[in-house]
Structure 1
Amino acid sequence: MQDHLCGMIGVSDAFARLKQRIERAARYDVPVLIEGETGTGKDIAARALHYHSARADHPFVPVNCGALPETLVENEFFGHRRGAYTHAVADTPGLLCVANGGTLFLDEVDSLPLKGQAMLLRLLEEPTYRPLGGGREVSFDVRVLAASNQDLDQLVKQGRFRGDLLFRLRLVGLKVPPLRERDGDAVLLAEHFVRSLARRYRLPDRPLHSSACTWIRGHAWPGNVRELQHWVCRGLLFGDTDELRPLQEEITPADLAAAGATSYRDARARAIESFDRHYLCELMRRHGGNITHAAREAGKERRALARLLKRYALDATSFRGHSAH
């Protein structure tokens, strides 16, 4: 089911609850904190909040806080006037100016340095700012949405995130459920990705084979929706059958036979790929995505393990929070 909420797709009870929360939160012009694991689609939820709100005709400005250099946070948000510093050769608007009238989405808000957190708290309490090198305060009208895949309550206890800022951002809180808790949605999403990615890469629209559906339902998806999308993409680009079947994943002998791997060489290659991927996933889960610790257990050099992860398109960050230790 794909509805008006910015392409959000799902039929599970968990998805229905999230959709209801988004529809209600979109009505009220207040900050919203969106929490959930890596790859769950927090950015999609943010866009749904914006485009289902009264600000839909105004800008939606996403910002990756993790990519903001600490020394440039104020400049990025406030902008600057010509001559504010050596290389300021022209007036440059900041994010608040660009997003004026619309929505500012702060992804990975936990990455903001404490100085930046203090600045954001002041902006939430008093909607005015002064561009660097400017002589007067400028008012703005922006709704702030924020997202994080970290345990912000724990970060507050550790002194790494301001409790008063968390209180303001979580005036309305949304929890985006992991894919493993969205019963029935994984196959539906995979079918959607097949269609959209086939159009993007000008490939034939291939249906999912029954073995692929079975594998999708049984996989834990530590990287959530993003991992599923990457899996479909690899299958479309590198699969050589009329139907999309498992590639590089946990493949049973029956799957191999059904996929047409009749030669010893093909069967052996797929079995090795299956072993490598399963081993790497379990290894990274045990160590919560820490490549250094995982490499030590595997008896490999860190760079060699990183290359192996890259070969199988496994993102170490998607395993954070899954450590068995």
Structure 2
Amino acid sequence: MARLISHRPAPPAADPGIAEEFVAFNLVGQSEKFLNLLARIKKIAQCDAPVLLEGQTGTGKELAARAIHYLSDRRDFPFIPINCGALPDSLIENELFGHAKGAYTDAGQAQTGVVEQAQGGTLFLDEVDALTQKAQVTLLRFLQDQRYRPLGERVLKEADVRIIAVSNRPLEELVTQGLFRQDLLFRLNVLNASLPPLRERGDDAVILAREFMRRLRIRYDQPDKILHPSTLRWIRRYDWPGNVRELENFIHREFLLSEGRYLYAQPPDPARRERRRARPDRRRQVSFDLGFADAKGEVITNFEKTYLCWLMEECGGNVTLAAMRAGKERRAIGKLLKKHGIDKKKYHRAG
């Protein structure tokens, strides 16, 4: 058996021409890993079964999901995304299945859930790894037979949707840690694909940078700009922890700020990654066991911390500029920074 396995033929290399088919979906690259991913996406699109896409943040998982949808027989029906990380337990059934008029206080009219909105098409579950245990049970029950009951109604409805779930973390590891249900993983992981980080995609970073510049030239009606050789060198060397999204944001900013024909750019500040890691987790769940006032206060505190960290990073620690951007008095921003223990000096840019 071992000899048979060791002599198993390697899968054929993907046709480089397949890349042209995916440019319309904003999936751009020529590396072997990326071309193999595109070939897998194309094959998955033809199989009407649940799909699990895994990969680091910023690798293009939603773009891949949309490509699967629009290459499938469901292309003429809706693609409905829902962010699982923003779904509290108290709203999960209402968001998924909707409610009838009068189902609860303030339900003055009926509302359809995302399952019904996606009928015939695709329901895209973003950040499925952020679902609570209760929400996982609700989703699992629906996936067993795609039948559901809107809140306040007595009759079961049957759905016809394809599920594409996305996770920033390996779900198998979460199962081992007791954070994700194994039976739900089995339901979601019928077909799967893993999106490689940008640092593993060879020269794709340069190809993407040039593609982003081409789009920006059209968008802002600007003359052509060229990446300076020194900029090309560090783009190839940099590990891009934020992947394609980080590269796109970086090129966007430098394209608008650069003067002349060449785009000269310095590598991102190494401390920027540490500041990003120090930000409060935007997917953090609210403690619903608290009273209303305490829960509301927790949400506001988390928002203020996250917003201030982002604001300081964008403004290089300049409080005056931050106040102008936020539309608040400088003194008010200063008080908020002090309240949350945020040191503006950590965000000052060298030079």
Q: With structure 1 as the length reference, what TM-score do the two structures score? A: 0.78
Q: 1:309 aligns with which of 313, 333, 336?
A: 313
- The answer on whether the counterparts of 2:50 and 2:162 sit within 8 Å (CA) in structure 1 is yes
Tell me by how many angstroms 1:312 deviates: 6.0
Q: Does 1:4 align with 2:21?
A: yes
- Alignment of 1:160 onto 2:179: yes
Provide the identity percentage: 46
Report deviation, 1:130.
0.6
Residue 110 of structure 1 is aligned with which of 86, 106, 129? 129
Aligned position for 1:271: none
Q: 1:13-53: CA deviations, max 9, x gaps?
A: 00111011101111111111000001000011101111111
Partner of 2:164: 145
CA distance in 1, matches of 2:316, 2:192: 35
1:174 to 184, 193, 199: 193
1:100-149 Cα deviation digits (max 9, x unpaired): 00001101001111121112112221111111111201111000000011
- Which position in structure 1 is the counterpart of 2:203? 184
> Please, which of 201, 213, 230 is the counterpart of residue 220 of structure 2?
201
Cα distance in 2, alignment partners of residues 80 and 305 from structure 1: 38
How far apart are the structure 2 equivalents of 1:75 and 1:147? 21
What is the match of residue 271 of structure 2?
Answer: 279
| 1:242-253 aligned within 5 A | 242-247=261-266, 249=267
Deviations 1:157-186 (A, max 9, x none): 222111111111111111000000001111
* Matching residue of 1:263: none
Q: Deviations over 1:243-301 (max 9, x none)?
A: 22214x26xxxxxxxxxxxxxxxxxxxxxxxxxx12343x45xxx92358xxxxxxxxx
The answer to whether the aligner puts 1:87 opposite 2:75 as a matched pair is no
Q: 1:219 aligns with which of 225, 234, 238?
A: 238
* Amino acid in the other structure paired with 1:94: G
Question: Residue 313 of structure 2 aligns to which amino acid in structure 1?
Answer: L
CA distance in 2, matches of 1:53, 1:305: 41
Aligned to 2:277: 289
Determine if contact 2:51/2:189 at 8 Å carries over to the other structure.
Answer: yes
The letter of the residue matching 1:52 is L
Distance 2:106 2:216 in 1: 42
**In structure 1, what is the Cα distance between the partners aligned to 2:39 and 2:214?**
26
The unaligned stretches of length 5 or more in structure 1 are 251-276, 293-301, 314-325
Give me the whole-angstrom Cα distance separating, in 2, the residues matched to 1:312 and 1:68.
Answer: 33
Larger CA deviation: 191-200 vs 304-313: 304-313
What is the TM-score when the length of structure 2 is the normalising length?
0.73
Distance in 1 between residues matched to 2:100 and 2:312, nearest whole Å:
48
Contact 1:215–1:246 (CA<8 Å) still a contact in 2? Answer: no
State the AA in 1 paired with 2:122.
T
Residues 63-142 of structure 1 aligned to structure 2 (within 5 Å) = 63-142=82-161
Q: What does the per-residue CA deviation read over 1:78-110, in whole Å, with 9 as the maximum and x for residues that have no partner?
A: 011110011111111100111000001101001
* Gapped regions of structure 2 (runs ≥ 5): 1-16, 281-304, 318-351
Q: Report the number of matched residues.
A: 273
Distance 1:50 1:312 in 2: 40
Following the alignment from structure 1 to structure 2, what is the Cα–Cα distance between the partners of residues 195 and 49? 25
Larger mean CA deviation between 209-218 and 226-235 belongs to: 209-218
How far apart, CA to CA, are the structure 1 residues paired with 2:71 and 2:309? 44
Structure 1 residue ranges, 4+ long, deviating more than 2 angstroms after superposition: 1-5, 197-205, 278-281, 302-313
Contact 2:224 2:261 in 1 (8 A): no
C-alpha RMSD over aligned residues:
2.2
Change (3 A) 1:311 1:218: farther
Quote the Cα distance in structure 1 between the aligned partners of 2:265 and 2:247: 12
- Does the CA-based 8 Å contact 1:80-1:91 persist in structure 2? yes
Q: How far apart are 1:199 and its partner, in Å?
A: 2.7
Quick one: distance in 2 between partners of 1:291 and 1:48?
A: 32
8 Å Cα contact 1:79-1:92 kept in structure 2: yes
